Amino acid sequence: MKSILSWFVLIVSIAVIVSSCSEKEESTTATATPITSSDDSSDNSTSTSDNSSSSNPEIFVAVGYGGIVRSTDNGTTWDNATSPNANTLYDVTFGNNTFVGVGLHGTIIRSTDNGTTWDNATGDISSWDNATNKHLFNVVFGNNTFVAVSYSGFIMRSTDNGSSWDNATTDNSTTANLWGVGFGNNTFVAVGDNGNVVRSTDNGASWDNATTDNTTTQRLRRVFFGNNTFVAVGGLGHIIRSTDNGSTWDNATISNANYLNGLAFGNNTFMAVGDYGNIVKSTDNGSTWDNATRPTTNDDTSRVAFGNNTFVVTGRNGTILTSSDNGTTWDNRTSAAATGSLAGITFSE
């Protein structure tokens, strides 16, 4: 009898132990489930964030007398964007996910949503000398700094993405009107009347005169950097170039005597545009220049930009031209969205 009782106690004990182990396994499984759910949520969140960061489109933005137009298909079609004021805009550039446009009477506007909407960012220049003459002709971005140029050697700069601006004019640089400014190799270079060239190696805080007597006395309208070379273009087809960050310059003037108004670099090619629809290009860092195939327009072309293997040219009467073969052929993309002459263009690279 005692033996039977002992066997009964042993069987009950084993049953209790098995039941206890089963409950622990279920508890562990239930506890692990939220961890799996959390991991899935984290993966979805990361995926959403990645998609958002990669969704920023590459955009051409052009400005001028008729406002602002933008293209998201390499200049093929264009839409209007509303400017916050009615002042003429002379130029636009892009940096740090921000478009900055400049123009008449010190106008400065900026956009942080791919050029869709724009805000006024004009600094208080009323206390500066001849404030009403501070038409800003060109603006460029480099080293987290925007720099804009104007009459009488006047230079402005912004280190907070165009929100506020300081006077960066340096007395020992030049009193000549400055029409263009470029950036490369940690150097800003500005060009202007009578072949004047000034340069800055401290992000536009101070400027030195780098004018070279043996280059040109013509007005220089634009300067651009590519392949360790600064190239500047201007009146009567005059072109100068520098391979030492703007310290010294050589004359590379071409036989084409038309005024050159705009300049860009891409695919190892400098492209310059000018009066009467003339376009010239250089594939040897500005040493020699050839006429590009003349586009189907006689309107003056004012500016050119490069992006996504495409050169886009803008000009008078809303002229827009594109070339995807380095200027060999051109397509007319003039759009009804451009209601006036276009003076500046940039690409959101």
For 119-160, the pLDDT digits (tens) are 998 765 555 555 556 799 999 999 999 999 998 899 999 999
Quick one: pLDDT at residue 295?
67
For 12-37, the pLDDT digits (tens) are 454 444 444 444 444 433 333 332 33
Quick one: pLDDT at residue 128?
58
Quick one: pLDDT at residue 228?
98
- Indicate the range of 108-122, 163-177, 329-343 predicted with least confidence: 163-177
Q: How far is CA 201 from CA 186, 229, 265, in A?
A: 6, 16, 21
Quick one: pLDDT at residue 16?
41
Mean pLDDT of 173-179: 88
Residue 9 pLDDT > 50, yes or no?
no
Could you give the percent of the chain with pLDDT greater than 70? 78
Average pLDDT of every residue of the chain:
82
Mean pLDDT of 47-72: 71
**Distance from C-alpha of 174 to C-alpha of 167, rounded to nearest angstrom:** 14
For 313-339, the pLDDT digits (tens) are 999 989 999 999 999 999 999 888 887
Contact indicator for 307, 343 with CB cutoff of 8 Å: no
Ramachandran assignment for 46, one of left (phi > 0), alpha (psi -120 to 50 degrees), beta (any other): alpha
**Distance from C-alpha of 75 to C-alpha of 330, rounded to nearest angstrom:** 12
For 95-110, the pLDDT digits (tens) are 999 999 999 988 999 9
Contact indicator for 92, 61 with CB cutoff of 8 Å: yes
- Residue, of 123 and 80, whose pLDDT is higher: 80
Residue 69 pLDDT > 90, yes or no?
yes
Task: Compute the CA torsion angle 318, 324, 329, 330 (nearest 10 deg).
Answer: -10
**Distance from C-alpha of 91 to C-alpha of 123, rounded to nearest angstrom:** 17
Mean pLDDT of 179-192: 98
For residue 98, count other CB atoms closer than 10 A to its CB: 20
Residues 6+ apart with CB under 8 A from 245: 184, 185, 187, 189, 199, 201, 230
290 burial (CB, 10 Å; 0-12 / 13-18 / 19+) is exposed
Quick one: pLDDT at residue 15?
46
pTM over 0.85: no
**Distance from C-alpha of 281 to C-alpha of 253, rounded to nearest angstrom:** 12
Which stretches does DSSP call E strand in 150-278?
A: 155-158, 166-167, 178-184, 187-192, 197-200, 208-209, 220-226, 229-234, 239-242, 250-251, 260-266, 269-274
Quick one: pLDDT at residue 131?
53
For residue 186, count other CB atoms closer than 10 A to its CB: 12
pLDDT band at 214 (very low <50, low <70, confident <90, very high): low
Nearest to 202 by CA among 129, 145, 121: 145
Name the class of domain 60-347: mainly beta
**Beta pairing class for 197-200 and 187-192:** antiparallel
For 272-300, the pLDDT digits (tens) are 999 988 999 999 999 999 988 766 667 78
For residue 47, count other CB atoms closer than 10 A to its CB: 10
**Distance from C-alpha of 331 to C-alpha of 291, rounded to nearest angstrom:** 16
Quick one: pLDDT at residue 66?
79
Quick one: pLDDT at residue 48?
31
For 233-275, the pLDDT digits (tens) are 999 999 999 999 999 999 987 767 789 999 999 999 999 999 9
The residue assigned the tokens 């909407």 is 117
For 17, the enclosing helix (H) or strand (E) is helix 2-53
For 44, the enclosing helix (H) or strand (E) is helix 2-53
